[in-house]
Amino acid sequence: MSGGLLEAAWKARQHACCAYSGFAVGAALEATDGRVFTGCNIENATYGLTVCAERVAIWKALSEGVRAFRRIAVVTHAATVTPPCGPCRQILWEFCGDIPVIAENAQGDRKIWHMHQLLPEAFDRANLK
């Protein structure tokens, strides 16, 4: 079910620029048309301008005109399965909706959440009406 997507995320992780934290992350976002957009985290000395793997994948897809998504995979070598950070949860909710998030670590531990579980009572365009 998610093997190819996880494989794409692991491959993307190899390109992470994480000299400061040493915490490499890979992500693979699947559009509803089957295309996959990958991302890795990209750090810099200011830390505040660092971009997470999930957002890199989303920006790549959006910049190509894609607006509908099926699921995302996120991978790390952490001892525990790592869900997306808070800012990534907001961006995922706004641009992808209630998609499944498949997370895996190097030990093969895996968890799957839906975005509504990771960001309950989300703020989005419906709140702006």
Query: Could you list the active site residues?
Result: 54
Distance between CA atoms of residues 101 and 86, nearest Å: 14
> Which region holds residue 51: left if phi is over 0, alpha if psi is between -120 and 50, else beta?
beta
Handedness of CA 87, 88, 93, 94 (dihedral sign): positive
| Terminal Cα-to-Cα distance of the chain (whole angstroms) | 38
**Spatial contact of 92 and 83, defined as CB atoms under 8 Å apart:** no
DSSP-derived secondary structure letter, 20 = T
